[in-house]
Structure 1
């Protein structure tokens, strides 16, 4: 038995897989101050469903897979450790100068971003290694020892070390790291050549500083998670989801927490890819995961999930650059808990502020007073107050209506239902714009893609979103309400390794490139021996970071070979780079040499033995169709037919207005749309 959880801002999702491959899922409220409590609550629901105690259920488990936003939340809220940054003498301002970009280059009212580590906690170390790995200035160990005493007096909790050209020769970083471990015992140290071996100093320093600052926090969190799971009766492996769309052992993540900055959201495209292929092998898919707090958008392009090294926490150039490979996900402050308000000028706003899990929407009855998207959905008749979470939570429609009337309807001088519809409509527009930004920017026409709707609140307005985008098909998987947790269950055990080097196709260094490829392959093999012994299938992919001569930025080019043997191999690589460049920028320059600035290898170990992924819940054939009054802008109040998702016949198409309900989600099919249930359990909607 395996468990996969995703801790969201409002709910904690759990997917349980039995030994025979059957799937079941559960939802419990997230506890912001103690996320593990929400995980245990979801597991308790699964135990009760089987007539077991929590201890008996956990005793059957072999693997527990956990997705968490604990790391990114700590950065956003400033709860990271007090961190010192050690740099090469003369380069104290790496984090201050950044890489020079500005969103608004002529807007001088915007303050310059603060560095992740304050300049007062950035220290210069006399040492210098040059581009070819030679030592120009020997390391002054006496200064390091003096600094160790000062860091102790400053009560520094973590140390990041980023020296120039350490990716070519890490000797000085390794030596300083060893000295600090001896003289600052218990203080974690991150070395830039190990965290993110890229030649770009700012992103290498930034990612190393972020990694170091998270080590104390994530060490405690993951240690507590493992300890409390063990105390509750679990004796299996604890795995944590990574930003790159895989999973790693909790102990490995605690040693390199930068890998889990985008932990939970990276899983939705994994599940989205699976369901898009099931329902017609769509080449391009838009995967939208609607939670209580955020709307996370990702793509499946040409059957592949795009990755990025431009992951920023906050606004690009103004926030903090993670600089670590991650599934490309765009998040906006729009979800079921997004708060609606009217400003002094009479304009309606929805989000980015959210009611979250506490106090939650007004209809939850937990003390919330400001209307949200969920409140609007209750008022419009989309949500059944008596069947939310299968009846586990009763909603207060009257309280939601009063909140909308006071805060939205009266200021706008409209009826309550019109105000509620405007809240849904504006939320839809915010989501449509976010999707357009990420698709059009990558040359994808959203009208030609399938929209995968995930998250508990996805069904409320995904039909409206798909119609606005021009999508011909919307797919809401049966596990869509827990899409990220479902993706976690499908994910592979993943290891990532990188190395910096420099060569050009004009003067190709066969020995250096082949040596690096050999070492990366050895790292992957060692990872498999250490972590992937039970793997059913092993896949290793190598990427070259390359650019045309004199270009500033590099792009990723897959390397299908493990060794360059002749000039023909170099020519083939040049042609492959030209093709990728043309796909991205619509032009290429075959006459220019190509520079390689780094190599990356990713090893994926498939550990899930089952091919199918479908809920095992049996349909309740006693449920009869009913109707409920629901409001739509063009039709007004009308009778919508109510369907229970698990009782719907396969391939039987029906027209809206209709509402499809399950214990986990509600799907609104408006009068203009057609829908049916597929053989795979998904709801297929044609807007």
Structure 2
């Protein structure tokens, strides 16, 4: 009787889900331990195991922000870069777009390159775009470079030679020679063999940068789990929603940079609704993504470590990464986002987060700055005793003191007005993220269902949905640990890609499929093993390409490209096309799992729900703030399992999250324990933030974490400009 475990390490909480052989679910939520993430994981795993025999665990799936944090906090390994003679300055020169306030900075300095100029080296060799050797590799020069790198104490090297995707022989020989002197060597033809040498180089550098960190962490995690008696292999969620073995994740660590957000999107995609706006609000960030026809949007390039809103993912704002990733927008708006008043007397919220240490003021762990969680507690949305299943008791007096001292006093408004303004600013920031993945891309969100999850998402979802005319919000069961639960829905997969002009498609696709199968140690054609083929296609003579499913028929492939072109750019464009590259994703699907059911024992997330018995009325009533009713209003509070149907204002609670049902909305419980919020008639109109001296107006920008309407318009124009092929 096998069990599987999903582990999601977030900025504030670590969530663990144990699924039993008959579908029973046990959950745990505990504070993340940033100095050693494995510490918090062990606490959560021990809690969900209870009396379960650890040897029965056959699968552990992990989503981690380790790679992301290593990039953002510059905690990766020191990397040396080796390239073809004449191209050493490619990385120091870089590429950067000014965004937000950088546009107006007359003393602007671009960010430091991912590799210092002094650690960039070149070797004599040259291969052309067809793979023909124009200049043989100078092996003696490579050996000298290796000795110099070792002398400097650098332990990780990224190698990206010109046109190595067409002929990797020189790169492989360089790696053999360098490994005599340097422990870790990563080559671009192994990481992501696509043309465009700058993006291929930065992707290789990032893999060399975070690879040693990821490899060491996964070894320590496996050892800690073994101490608990769990010897099952550890799998890691990749950025595109697949799952890879830990060994592969260590070799291609760059593919895990968006590991955490991907898991939540899978949970939203499993909600049963075809067209979804995924809305995930945790303790540190909020993430949104569009799911169409049950499939998340996938991008094949994103940026990390840049300035600006939405995680610095906008083109040119950070280090470009050429690897598949679920296409989402991310903002620094979470329960732990710190609210503050700037020098001009304007209220801000985020992107800086109090995290799990010291955490919001109401945690009582030493933090004294007000956060979104403190504001929600002041507004009466949260129950101080049952937050996070009772594992983190909240202290309302500390929240009130922080709001009064840092916000209400300086702004000259009441405590409630200040707290509600913080709540609305967070909603505006998250609305900007929804705008990016929908309106800015030509998608009308009004026909979509919003699926809300994360510890804080259900508290804010109805307000965010109202801004876009979205009239249905679904809060699935186990919404507070949805990312951890989503991990268990991921298929074991590996993707291989190759840029190849004028190549034999059958030969290339077969080779890629065999290589991807070898990554997973599976055999093509075996039960549960499938291979999805696609191609990068462009109009002949244009610079940009789009990825479409492969077809052996040239006419059908061109038709798929033209349809995709119309979807992305909004215009009809016909003409001859050419294939730029090929992709194959091999997937091993696990046996279908039994439907999830609540387990009996209590965990650190609180008593498990049974969902049985006749529906009851509200469990209690408390004062909660709703501007539509004039302020604080006696509000019924329901346990999720006891809810039948109720009109707002109301609050619905369970062990992992709190659902706020504003006036104008109705909430009902479905058979799968989801709570569905429906707007009464057309979705409620947007509301303004609470008034006050300097209180932030709706949509007003923070310095780093928000966008104004004007900026959103500018971004839309820029996106249209960047999106034009040619």
| TM-score, L = length of structure 2 | 0.87
Shift of 1:15: 1.0
Shift of 1:537: 2.8
**SS of alignment partner, residue 442 of structure 2:** coil
Q: How many residues align?
A: 655
- Cross-structure match for 1:369: 368
Q: Is the 8 A contact 2:96 2:318 kept in 1?
A: no
* Residues 165-199 of structure 1, C-alpha deviations (whole Å, 9 max, x = no match): 11111110000111112333xx1111101111111
**668-677 or 107-116, which deviates more:** 107-116
Change (3 A) 1:107 1:396: closer
Choose from 651, 661, 664 the match for 1:659.
Answer: 651
Shift of 1:47: 3.1
- Cross-structure match for 2:75: 79
- Cross-structure match for 2:20: 18
Q: Is the 8 A contact 1:478 1:615 kept in 2?
A: no
Change (3 A) 1:576 1:389: closer
Measure the CA separation in 1 of the matches of 2:678 and 2:611.
24
Measure the CA separation in 2 of the matches of 1:176 and 1:144.
6
Measure the CA separation in 1 of the matches of 2:195 and 2:98.
22
Measure the CA separation in 1 of the matches of 2:381 and 2:522.
47
**SS of alignment partner, residue 441 of structure 2:** coil
- Cross-structure match for 1:243: 239
Shift of 1:608: 4.2
Q: Where do 1:570-589 residues align within 5 Å?
A: 570-589=554-573
Measure the CA separation in 2 of the matches of 1:261 and 1:197.
18
Q: Is the 8 A contact 1:190 1:211 kept in 2?
A: yes
Q: Is the 8 A contact 2:628 2:663 kept in 1?
A: no
Q: Is the 8 A contact 2:30 2:391 kept in 1?
A: no
- Cross-structure match for 2:702: none
Q: Where do 1:435-454 residues align within 5 Å?
A: 435-454=434-453
Query: Does 2:468 align with 1:469?
Result: yes
Choose from 128, 137, 140 the match for 2:138.
Answer: 140
Q: Is the 8 A contact 1:623 1:647 kept in 2?
A: yes
- Cross-structure match for 1:599: 582
- Cross-structure match for 2:123: 125
Q: Is the 8 A contact 1:113 1:318 kept in 2?
A: no
Q: Where do 1:3-14 residues align within 5 Å?
A: 3-14=5-16
Shift of 1:484: 1.1
- Cross-structure match for 2:592: 609
- Cross-structure match for 2:193: 197
Q: Where do 1:227-266 residues align within 5 Å?
A: 227-266=223-262
- Cross-structure match for 2:682: none
Query: Does 2:640 align with 1:645?
Result: yes
Q: Is the 8 A contact 2:492 2:587 kept in 1?
A: yes
Shift of 1:318: 2.9
- Cross-structure match for 1:506: none
RMSD over aligned CA atoms reads 1.9
- Cross-structure match for 1:40: 42
Shift of 1:623: 8.5
**SS of alignment partner, residue 245 of structure 1:** coil
Measure the CA separation in 2 of the matches of 1:525 and 1:321.
27
* Residues 387-413 of structure 1, C-alpha deviations (whole Å, 9 max, x = no match): 112322221101100110111111111
Choose from 500, 503, 521 the match for 2:513.
Answer: 521
Q: Where do 1:490-569 residues align within 5 Å?
A: 490-503=489-502, 512-527=504-519, 530-531=521-522, 537-559=528-550, 561=551, 564=552, 569=553
Structure 2: unaligned runs, 5 residues or longer: 307-311, 600-608, 680-726
- Cross-structure match for 2:165: 167
Measure the CA separation in 2 of the matches of 1:475 and 1:485.
18
Measure the CA separation in 1 of the matches of 2:231 and 2:27.
21
Q: Is the 8 A contact 1:536 1:607 kept in 2?
A: no
Change (3 A) 1:105 1:126: farther
**SS of alignment partner, residue 180 of structure 2:** helix
Change (3 A) 1:335 1:608: farther
Shift of 1:234: 0.8
